Structure 1
């Protein structure tokens, strides 16, 4: 009887997806899945796993494939259970003696980790200014003909420029201060992107031409050298190596309630161990309540944080990071807690 109970319990654990290493499959995870054109890695991981951050633990990097980490539309993913350890891999053609194993790569891009359209602008433009260095950046002094602002095609003069003729710098406007959600330490400033300006004549009073503008430049806007960045897609979802806990301290467009695919700012960055592809959970900090039964009037009990959803870090800076909300089961707000599982 005891042996039968033990066997039944083991089967129950496997059915529920509770594995020895803590990996939990979804109860309805498919055995095979055909990758679609509009899929993201997050979508696929969420089909198989209760915690998408565990994708790197179950993904099998087949050495027979030219790009073992990349998944393309048309690929068939297979869930295999080897003992009590799940493994997800790309289905490949059977090995034929004396013949090479070949994978035909479709003439399309690999699927992105998260939706590219939601984050592209945050990867290709400066968005965060170090709070200690804002006052040292070059700045616009004025415009010809006594203008106080200018758009694309306008010239302007700037001071503090140390660049060669022909260089293109980004014009930015220091925005709200980013502060630590608990200590109030200044972590940096939001950098509002104005446009791009080309240096026409270097000197104490440098002359620029505003070659591209999303909004008008004004006196006092800052100039920032920008290193070209490519849209990074070759990374995977994973959990931080050490526990991380922080707060949401900012959001694009100044909205107050956050939802899926909203870009948010965290008060933790690379110095705290965050990197591209890290998955964190979001919690709403619930207020305390009074326990009138156990302690009578005035007895206060601290309620645990309430899980609200998940995010993926896509651009960490030194002290802050940009992340994309991937799952939201309720409205989120600036000040909510983020942490690793």
Structure 2
């Protein structure tokens, strides 16, 4: 046998072994407990989502599923733990644009990039709105833009709150200010709870943020108000927001439709059979009636399940969109 023939046969044998190994992996995954890595402490919205997914996902897998919480550095500590673990699908990251797309752009301490992860499935999205303190002299998005320009010209720019530098809510606030041409002052908080407390107390002017049952309660009590939703033009994403127009129905902003989606991710080099198995199990889990009901009760919307290829395409599109915004507002890592 000459060297060339030996080389070809070796490659064919190697390819055959890889195919056999991949098939076996698809048939046996998961063979043990799967952990859902939540990048925030227990008790928040991210944790609540994971607790909803935990039970039906365990049923779909036929294996135990455990929620693991690890907060810190804008979700980066948990992300880095996943990247440092084997690419075998047993540690799955629950993430959003905040941790995987924006954190690497905004925080110098974050050393990974969005492409280090692969999205398996989006499992929920939450409606967003522009919320304002009750005394603010604006009741819709047109009036907010006019007030922002007037206040900036007088040297007293409006303030907008977020849950931290480089967070989704920070980027949206700066993006709005950029679009309407009025400087606004960013006020970062260490979480949503103190932000809503200050918004209801009148210490900060507005926030571009997720809205749910808790916030609707504050609105109904007259402690804050909705200036508009971030739904696409002419669309209502959540029944409890049907009384409020989208800011995209105005002429003040362009392409400003956003929701806070959450998905599950693995390392980019996770074997395809494992990704396929995870994708199928997550779709099955979110078809569970109890899980759907619980997610809707906390304000979530359930998108149609995606194939792995569709999930990859959507993640690439989301990454490109947020990077373009970060570039337009000249976001610098801190």
TM-score norm. by structure 1 comes to 0.23
The answer to which structure has the higher strand fraction is 1
The answer to which structure has the higher helix fraction is 2
Greater relative contact order (CA < 8 Å, ≥ 6 in sequence): 2
- Asked which structure has the greater CA Rg, the reply is 1
